[in-house]
Amino acid sequence: MGWGIGNLPYGSVVGPDGRRFAAVRFGDAVLELARVDADLFAAGGLDRFLAAGPATWSRVRAEVVDTLTADRHPLVPLADVTPVLPFAIGDYVDFFASEHHAANCGRIFRPGNTDPLSANWRHQPIGYDGRAGSVVVSGTDIARPSGQFPGDDGPIGFAPTRRLDLEAEVAFVVGPPGTRIAVAEADEHVFGVCLLNDWSARDIQAFESAPLGPFLGKSFATSLAAWITPLEALAAARTRVPQDPEPLPHLRETGAHGLRLDLAVSINGQVVARPEFGSMYWSYAQMLAHLTSNGAAVRTGDVFASGTVSGPARGQRGCLLELTWNGAEPIELGDGTSRTWLEDGDEVVVSAHAGDITLGEVAGRITRG
């Protein structure tokens, strides 16, 4: 269940013979996409396919369904292939689109404020440019980064982070390029959805983020799921979240661009949070419209992410910063240990589903830097 004919996520894998090829996942096997369209997938990745746009996406999906239904080509067992990044990533932008996450961060870092949200937060999606070169495929080990931050006794030093965190996010993959993209036009440019973990070194981030934003505390690694679920497969998951105040006309929602996705965050095999993406305040269409509203362009293979997905309850918080309230309230694991921040050897897995559609998980294990 979850990987049936209604899902069919796309990726790129290396087979047992060392050859890379574009693939679609079906159950516990993959179909080589070059058997469906040899020219489009000749390079072994999804780049040309993403750039081709919605008409081609729908055509290929229909042909994949026909091929699988007719049992026309042999499938390769999933266990015999190794997923790799499925397309060349252009730019990476990370947003801050969960009201619950933003409000919790405000309460943690600005206690006593009447409104925990900054004055601009409900007027536009807040985000920052990330580093595309540090995006890695799910399953890649994450080396603990080092940076500058104050020590326990006060002096500033350069050392491995002591406050390594995860951030459970949902990312969107751009197909055809464009600029000044209207909210109503977003689906002409967004191919699909995948999970993302925006690893964060909170002590490094805190020291460097005054007055500017995240830099070395974020840029060491961002993990991306290997399988991209097309928006076409998530039609039944669409929803819309009310916004107050109503955004300016260029950001006004014209349809249902929210998605009801149920996430789960696990540390060493134990679920520690179940965030709900359906409650996100800003939709992917509004994020894309804002991103391009000043004339900036998106290119094929660009990735933009939601920011941490969190809900109103403690068990729905998508990062340790919130789950442990900045380290003040440790969480207990099933093996009798507790965590405020990630330790060396910890494995983090973010998974999600929308009804009977399963998204590809994003996983990473912490190693000593």
Domain CATH number, residue 318:
3.90.850.10
| 261/273 Cα distance (integer angstroms) | 14
Q: What is the mean pLDDT of residues 109-124?
A: 92
- pLDDT surpassing 70 at residue 304: yes
Domain of 39 in residue numbering reads as 10-84
Comparing CA positions, the residue from 105, 108, 144, 141 lying closest to residue 308 is 105
Give me the amino acid identity at 73. H
Is residue 184 domain-shared with residue 240, that is, in the same domain? yes
- Other Cβ atoms less than 10 A from the Cβ of 192: the count is 23
Residues 6+ apart with CB under 8 A from 175: 50, 51, 52, 53, 54, 57, 189, 190, 191, 300
Q: What is the mean pLDDT of residues 15-31?
A: 97
Domain final position from 84, 101, 124: 84
Chain centroid to CA 349:
12
b/e per residue 306-338 (b: at least 16 CB within 10 A): bbbbbbeeeebbbbbbbbbbbeeeebeeeeeee
Within-domain flag for 329: yes
Given its phi and psi angles, is residue 301 left (phi above 0), alpha (psi -120 to 50 degrees) or beta?
left
Within-domain flag for 2: no
Within-domain flag for 213: yes
CATH code (residue 57): 2.30.30.230
Dig out the tokens for 47 from the structure: 């780049």
Is residue 131 domain-shared with residue 60, that is, in the same domain? no
Is residue 248 domain-shared with residue 359, that is, in the same domain? yes
Q: Report the mean per-residue pLDDT for the chain.
A: 96
Measured distance between the N- and C-terminal CA atoms of the chain, rounded to whole angstroms: 38
Percent of the chain with pLDDT over 70: 100
Choose between 312 and 210: higher pLDDT: 312
Residue 300's SS3 state is: coil
Within-domain flag for 341: yes
Is residue 246 domain-shared with residue 119, that is, in the same domain? yes
Is residue 45 domain-shared with residue 188, that is, in the same domain? no
Residues 6+ apart with CB under 8 A from 189: 174, 175, 176, 177, 178, 181, 288, 298
Domain final position from 33, 54, 84: 84
Q: How many structural domains comprise the chain?
A: 2
Is residue 40 domain-shared with residue 100, that is, in the same domain? no
Is residue 108 domain-shared with residue 203, that is, in the same domain? yes
Q: What is the mean pLDDT of residues 323-331?
A: 98
Is residue 78 domain-shared with residue 135, that is, in the same domain? no
Within-domain flag for 5: no
- Other Cβ atoms less than 10 A from the Cβ of 16: the count is 11
Sign of the dihedral through C-alpha 327, 317, 362, 136: negative
1 band by pLDDT with thresholds 50, 70 and 90: low
Cα–Cα distances in Å, from 131 out to 5, 47, 220? 35, 19, 9
What is the chain's Cα-based Rg? 20
Contact 299, 179 (CB under 8 A): no
Comparing CA positions, the residue from 116, 127, 118, 92 lying closest to residue 308 is 127
Is residue 104 domain-shared with residue 79, that is, in the same domain? no
Dig out the tokens for 248 from the structure: 């300016």
Is residue 183 domain-shared with residue 285, that is, in the same domain? yes
Within-domain flag for 97: yes
According to the model, what pLDDT value does residue 154 have? 78
Cα–Cα distances in Å, from 74 out to 12, 26, 30, 33, 108? 17, 12, 9, 12, 54
Is residue 129 domain-shared with residue 104, that is, in the same domain? yes
Within-domain flag for 230: yes
pTM more than 0.85: yes
The pLDDT tens digits of the residues spanning 54-104 come to 999 999 999 999 999 999 889 999 999 999 999 999 999 999 999 999 999
Among 73, 100, 101, 189, which one carries the catalytic annotation?
Answer: 101
Is residue 102 domain-shared with residue 80, that is, in the same domain? no
Comparing CA positions, the residue from 82, 78, 83 lying closest to residue 3 is 78
Secondary structure element (H or E) that encloses residue 66, with its range: helix 54-70
Within-domain flag for 4: no
251 band by pLDDT with thresholds 50, 70 and 90: very high
According to the model, what pLDDT value does residue 153 have? 78
> Is 101 a catalytic site residue?
yes
Choose between 113 and 116: higher pLDDT: 116
Residues 6+ apart with CB under 8 A from 139: 83, 226, 363, 364
Secondary structure element (H or E) that encloses residue 30, with its range: strand 29-32
275 band by pLDDT with thresholds 50, 70 and 90: very high
- pLDDT surpassing 70 at residue 244: yes
| 148/252 Cα distance (integer angstroms) | 41
Domain final position from 32, 60, 84: 84
| 351/108 Cα distance (integer angstroms) | 27
Sign of the dihedral through C-alpha 227, 131, 309, 242: negative
